[in-house]
């Protein structure tokens, strides 16, 4: 088999993994959201004064915070997976979204959703953490409402 055909097959394996990981992440998000809705309802239906113990209250607040940050990570991953999926359709999958250079196959195997080469990814990561320090006020991301995760194709 020649190199081009080999890379082609490798790319379609990776593309299949992108689709699968995206579905897994969507499922996890659905479970997470269903879980927190049930919890909210449980608290409202069962008891209007759920906490008598301030330690329980603190524990609950912490659990909610963990849930929120887990959701944030998941939503971030879904954004990247959605872009990787777009790139598969565009035929640019496996090439950096920033500079157009090929993304090393080892990087793609470790992280099929990788849409940037190593150097662009670390540049962007540095920019992002600077921006995050400037504006870390809310866990809600207005650019990415839950409805936007649903495909309409």
- What part of residues 16-35 is at the interface with Zn ion (CB under 5 A)? none
Q: Are 71 and 138 in contact (CB under 8 A)?
A: no
Question: Do you know the residue count of the chain?
Answer: 153
* Residue 99 lies near Zn ion (rule: CB under 5 A): yes
Alpha-carbon distance 129 to 103, whole Å?
23
Question: DSSP secondary structure string, 80-148?
Answer: HHHHHHHHHHHT-TTB-TTT-PBPPHHHHHH-TT--S-HHHHHHHHHHHHHHHHHT---S--TTS-GGG
Q: Which is nearer to Zn ion, 74 or 120 (CB)?
A: 120
Applying CB under 5 A, the span of 7-15, 34-42, 70-78, 97-105 interacting with Zn ion comes to 97-105
* Residue 98 lies near Zn ion (rule: CB under 5 A): yes
Site string for Zn ion, 49-88 (x = CB under 5 A): ----------------------------------------
Site string for Zn ion, 101-120 (x = CB under 5 A): ----------------x--x
Q: Which residues bind Zn ion (CB under 5 A)?
A: 96, 98-99, 117, 120
């Amino acid at each position: 088999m020649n190199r081009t055909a080999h890379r082609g097959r490798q790319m379609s394996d990776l593309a299949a993994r992108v689709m699968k990981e995206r579905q897994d992440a969507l499922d996890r998000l659905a479970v997470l959201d269903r879980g927190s809705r049930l919890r909210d309802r449980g608290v409202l239906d069962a008891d209007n004064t759920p906490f008598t113990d301030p330690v329980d209250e603190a524990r609950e607040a912490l659990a909610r915070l963990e849930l929120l940050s887990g959701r944030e990570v998941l939503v971030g991953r879904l954004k990247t997976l959605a872009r990787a999926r777009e790139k598969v359709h565009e035929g640019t999958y496996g090439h950096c979204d920033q500079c157009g250079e090929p993304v090393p196959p080892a990087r793609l195997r470790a992280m099929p959703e990788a849409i940037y080469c190593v150097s662009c990814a670390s540049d962007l990561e540095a920019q992002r953490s600077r921006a995050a320090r400037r504006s870390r006020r809310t866990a809600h991301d207005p650019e990415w409402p839950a409805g936007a995760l649903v495909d309409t194709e």
